[in-house]
Amino acid sequence: MPLFYEKRQLVTPGDLLAEDNYIAGDNTYKDNGKIYASRIGLVDYEARKVHVVALKAFYVPSIEDTVIGKVVEVTTGGWIVDINAPYFAMLRASDVIDRPFKPQTSDLPSIFDVGDLIIAKIVAYDRTRDPLLTIHEPGLGKIMRGQLVEITPTKIPRVIGRKGSMVSMIKRETGCQITIGQNGLILISGKTPDDERLAVMALHKIEEESHISGLTDRVTEMLRKEKEGVEHT
């Protein structure tokens, strides 16, 4: 059975992962019956599917994803939002303003202006056009306060953890509100700057060590140690 690596081994682009009758999953590709890695990451085999959990990749929009973005331009029809992806996203004025809107009389910058941060959801995206956003759901809209952290989007699942275990733990230990954007942007809002700082440290640690098992324990321990240290000063 031609598998050339063990689970969770580090592979680089071009590494031959499998031969004969396997399915090419994420971050791999098939050429002449052989499956190769296309990004650096940890290889994993599941039944007849081979995929690589990428250690470094940029965000590619996906419909239904919740993202955090920065408004970079106000146009006559809406806003252009930077969602940290190869494409800018569009938020239409008609999505935000309930009554029929007239470009001449509506004051779009008063709703969202250049530099504002918003949480939105991707409702449409395909090869021929830029992603389309909506804020027409509870929990979406302009962000008024908090700190923004940026991590590699592929690590987001690790930040969430199995059934939300990791992020719940961080919320508990730091007392912060944490909003996660699938595009690698995370909003932290805590009672004190120190609390927020702890959460930021936790997130960076997850990003750096996501490929090593036992992460949840290590992060929990680090947070507890830091909190003890702070209490003693």
Partner 1 sequence: MLNIPKRKTKKKRLKRPQKKPEKLIDKDDTRLDGRKLNELRPVKIEVGILGNADGSAYIEQGKNKILAAVYGPKEVHPRHLARPDRAVLRCRYHMAPFSVDERKSPAPSRREVELSKVIREALEPSIFVEYYPRTSIDVFIEVLQADGGTRCAGITAASLALADAGIPMRDLVVACAAGKVDGCLVLDLMDVEDKGGEADVPLALMPNLNAITLLQMDGSLTIEEFEKAINLALEGCKQLYTLQKEALKSKYVAVKEAVEE
Interface ranges with partner 1 (CB under 8 A): 10, 12-16, 27, 29, 31, 36, 38-40, 54-58, 86-88, 127-128, 152, 154, 208-209, 211-212, 218
Q: Which CB, 16 or 97, lies closer to partner 1?
A: 16
Answer left, alpha or beta for residue 167, where phi above 0 means left and psi between -120 and 50 means alpha: alpha
Q: What is the per-residue burial (b if ≥16 Cβ within 10 Å, else e) of 43-74?
A: bbbeeeebbbbbbebebebeeebbbbbbbeeb
* Sole residue written with tokens 């202006």: 113
Other beta carbons within 10 angstroms of residue 127's beta carbon come to 4
Hey, is 32 helix, strand or coil? Answer: coil
10 Å Cβ neighbour count for 188?
23
Q: How far is the CB of 159 from partner 1 (least distance, A)?
A: 17
What is the C-alpha separation between 172 and 146, in angstroms, rounded?
17
65's tokens? 């994803």
Task: Give the nearer residue to partner 1 in terms of CB position, either 44 or 195.
Answer: 44
- Residue closer to partner 1 by CB (options 58, 136) is 58
Distance of closest approach, residue 95 Cβ to partner 1, in angstroms = 22
Whose structure tokens read 């050429």?
31
Q: Which residue, 42 or 188, has its beta carbon nearer to partner 1? A: 42
State which amino acid sits at residue 61. Answer: P
CB of 34 to partner 1, least distance (A): 9
Minimum CB separation of residue 162 from partner 1 in Å reads 20
Q: Closest CB to partner 1 among 152 and 179?
A: 152
Smallest gap, in angstroms, from Cβ of residue 117 to partner 1?
20
Rounded Cα distance between 188 and 194, Å, is 12
Kindly state the tokens that stand for 216: 């949840």
Instruction: Output the smallest distance, CB 11 to partner 1, in A.
Output: 9
For partner 1, the closer CB: 137 or 208: 208
With beta carbons less than 8 A apart as the criterion, state whether 50 and 24 touch.
Answer: yes
